[in-house]
Amino acid sequence: MANAASAATGPSDLLKIEQSGRVLSVGLNRPAKRNALNEGIVLAIGDCFASLPEGIGAVVIHGIGDHFSSGLDLSELTERDATEGLRHSQMWHRVFDRIQYSRVPVIAALRGAVIGGGLELAGAAHIRVAEPSAYFALPEGQRGIFVGGGGSVRLPRLIGVARITDMMLTGRVYSATEGAAYGFAQYLVEQDQALPRAMELAAGIANNAPLTNFAVLQALPMIAEANPQTGLLMESLMATVAQSDKEAKLRIRAFLDHKTKKVKPT
């Protein structure tokens, strides 16, 4: 990765973190376990998002090796009682909330297994890029468990309650092509191109006006879920704040002076 500075995180190098310009890439680094999510790696993700370096404008999450994540490391479940399980689930909620409500946009680059908790993690990101090897599943019904990382809240908003119900009851697996059509991912790219494409998107996003990015991440979801009149008022307030920002005024002037490109189909 050009001009990248690398830093390992965690005593077992559970994450591989690299900075390229204003983009931070966060690699899940348990390839021998198909990047299964144990407590250590989830806590490491939380620590990473709690202390993003200054100047970072976007984050890309991906899996080291052939898979994004095969989900919860089930070996951890055998040692927990109900109280510990509740606390464990709430810990996942706190960590994934840090992704969803991050101060900068987060893109997930998906390949191979995107299963269970791995799909919940991907669902917390704002944009998802998948390559043909990616496949999506929620095998909770066959495992005798239930989603615990926020999937019952986030995933139905992406693909609908009926589709999530089918996946959990029957173990249905969706291919990358189906996933892109149904909303699991916004982009479908060629093999081995998910990470490069995600980094490309992130670099462009990082150059947006910071206040606009903030509005999209923080205000847009609230507006979408508000009653129409409340949503319209919130939109007006956010639009007023955004367009009064000094950065917005500079960008609008550059456009009017023909210093920036017009929007055209690609």
Which listed residue (39, 84, 120, 247) is catalytic? 120
State the distance between the two ends of the chain, measured CA to CA, in whole angstroms.
26
Tokens of 220: 């847009």
Annotated catalytic, 131? no
Confirm if 162 and 169 have CB atoms less than 8 A apart.
Answer: no
CA 198 remoteness from chain centre: 11
Residues whose CB is less than 8 angstroms from the CB of residue 175 and which lie 6 or more positions away in sequence, other chains included: 134, 135
Q: What separation in angstroms does the CA of 73 have from each of 39, 40, 66, 146?
A: 9, 11, 17, 14
Annotated catalytic, 140? yes
Longest dimension (CA), the chain: 65
Tokens of 143: 């495992």
Which listed residue (84, 131, 140, 235) is catalytic? 140
Tokens of 190: 């060629």
Catalogue the active-site residues. Answer: 120, 140
